[in-house]
Amino acid sequence: MRMRAFLTFVATGAFALAGCNGGKVTHPYIAVTGGDPNHGKVLIDQYGCGACHIVPGVRGARGLVGPPLIYFSERTMIAGELPNSPSNLIRWIEHPREVEPKTAMPDLGLTEDQATDIAAYLYTLRGPEGTRWIE
């Protein structure tokens, strides 16, 4: 119980201190998706995400249709519509047209578990400061 109270205090303090600086998150967070980033990387390759996106760590993922996913975990928004959080990212990956009806991003028919694994991989993509998100 004391540990839970301590962790809650630390997390609350981190959120209180979090700020943006020109769109760049200035305090480190940890992405908590419950997904498997290694499987997510495999799925990104299998579903051909690299045809539209540059995805670091995924061989041949050099597409220029969608935005590059470099430093994804440092972004503040997803598709210019949603705050960057694990639940929003999973929703976006699973059903992008429910979020943005005119998006070019296709609904790939991914399950929630697959979208969760892909989100877990995307949250490993951080900049030199090691910034990551927590929901």
The pLDDT of residue 130: 52
Fold of 27-122: Immunoglobulin-like (2.60.40)
Break the chain into its structural domains and give their ranges.
Answer: 27-122
Long-range contacts of 10-15 (CB under 8 A, 24+ apart): 11/134, 14/134
Farthest CA pair distance, the chain:
49
Helix residue ranges, H only, 1-135: 2-17, 37-46, 86-94, 96-99, 112-122
What confidence tens digit (pLDDT) does each residue in 31-68 have? 678 899 999 999 999 999 999 999 999 999 999 999 99
φ and ψ at 6, to 5 degrees? Answer: -65, -45
Cβ proximity of 101 and 44 under 8 Å: no
pTM score of the predicted model: 0.74
The pLDDT of residue 31: 61
Nearest CA among 74, 69, 73 for reference residue 105? 69
The pLDDT of residue 48: 97
What confidence tens digit (pLDDT) does each residue in 76-109 have? 999 998 999 999 999 999 999 999 999 999 999 9
